Amino acid sequence: MVTVLTAPLSFPPLEAIKDPIITIEEGVIRNIASRRAAEIPAGARVVDFPGAVLAPGFIDIHIHGGAGYDVMQAETGAPEGFERLLAAHGVTSYLPTTVTAPIDQTLKSLEKLAKATEAAAIPGKSAGRAQPLGIHLEGPFISHAKRGVHPAENILPPSVQAFDRFWEAARGRIKMMTLAPELPGMEQLIGEARHREVRVSLGHSNADLRSARAAVEAGATHATHTFNAMRSLQHRDPGILGVVLTDSRLTADIIADGVHVDPVVIELFLRSKGPEAAVLITDAISATGMPEGRYRLGSLEVEVQGTRCFSEGRFAGSVLTLDRAVRNIMKFANWGLRDAVRLATLNPARVLGVASRKGALLAGCDADIVVLSGSGEVVKTMVRGAGI
């Protein structure tokens, strides 16, 4: 059946279309145009959203869990409740993100996540739920000095051999890897990851300027939760942040909850990277969408109080949702909804190399659509045409 969505406005997201008509068939956008330029196909089911904005579904490239579920859990598949929670907050695609753990545990988690990713690719398998696009391997190739809550005993030196074990367990489903560029052997690992089309992201790092620049030359293209678990920016020693904030070859993501990074610094980050290179993430853990209490992040126990998550006195992820991050950008930096939405849609899609089918409302893209109020509140979410 052909479905047509109408509303006063849409953000494809690089432009604004007034009175759009979005035609959907078999989970794919067939056409998008204004009412002045197109007609509603005869016999189509028409769904109108008065007063709303139609935007691409959000993409979270760094998330550890939610609704009580942790992606490092041993059981097969991602619980329905977690992916429905994501969809309720506008997220249609995500990268389940690991945390440093014993090798055997990591291998088992990667096997499980690979199966879940493959199952999600089957049409109709997980209708109305956010769907994994692959896996984000955060650690174990990170700095001891900037490990955050990642267990020190499980951090590994960079090794193509170790990466190959993870790759095999994940059946080639690793799409992004966070690593510290200052560690010996990192350039070889970056080269191997790039050969396998894995996006290398710089993070959990105490790198100086030279090491960070070398990593970019070797093929790193992104930066993980900018400012957090990174060497501080000093005016005579800019370090990794000097590269992240000034090198146009790097995109970079940030946790815009106002807790991990002060709103003033978030505004500084946005001025530096601009609407083209900034990306929003949540770094959310199993406690997201749940009451205060104790939850898991891999092998760690995390205490959640309000919007803060702690393990042994350190930040341990967040309970941020991506729709709130979008609204926070509007508040912190006085950005409009269209530019803020881009940071959660087209930009992460480009980071992952999937912009031909995700992150935009264009003919040929998956019908991953979020219906928003003018202030960025989620009204409804559609995943591959399902949910409306």
Comparing C-alpha atoms, which of 16, 9, 44, 50 is closest to residue 30?
Answer: 44
Place of tokens 């992952």: 352
Comparing C-alpha atoms, which of 232, 222, 243, 231 is closest to residue 204?
Answer: 231
Token pair for 71: 């992606």
For residue 344, give Cα distances in angstroms to 61, 99, 150, 373.
9, 22, 26, 16
Token pair for 105: 């545990």
d(CA 386, CA 83): 14
Strand order in the sheet with 9-10: 17-18, 9-10, 53-56, 369-372, 378-382
Is 283 designated active site?
yes
| Interacting residues of 228 by C-beta distance below 8 A, sequence separation 6+ | 148, 255, 260, 261, 315
d(CA 320, CA 90): 13
d(CA 347, CA 199): 14
**Residue of 60, 70, 253, 283 marked active site:** 283
Secondary structure class of 314 (helix, strand, coil): strand
Comparing C-alpha atoms, which of 47, 102, 97, 33 is closest to residue 69?
Answer: 97
Comparing C-alpha atoms, which of 207, 220, 214 is closest to residue 351?
Answer: 220
Token pair for 316: 């341990």
Comparing C-alpha atoms, which of 311, 304, 312, 268 is closest to residue 287?
Answer: 304
Comparing C-alpha atoms, which of 277, 275, 276 is closest to residue 333?
Answer: 275
Active site residue ranges: 283
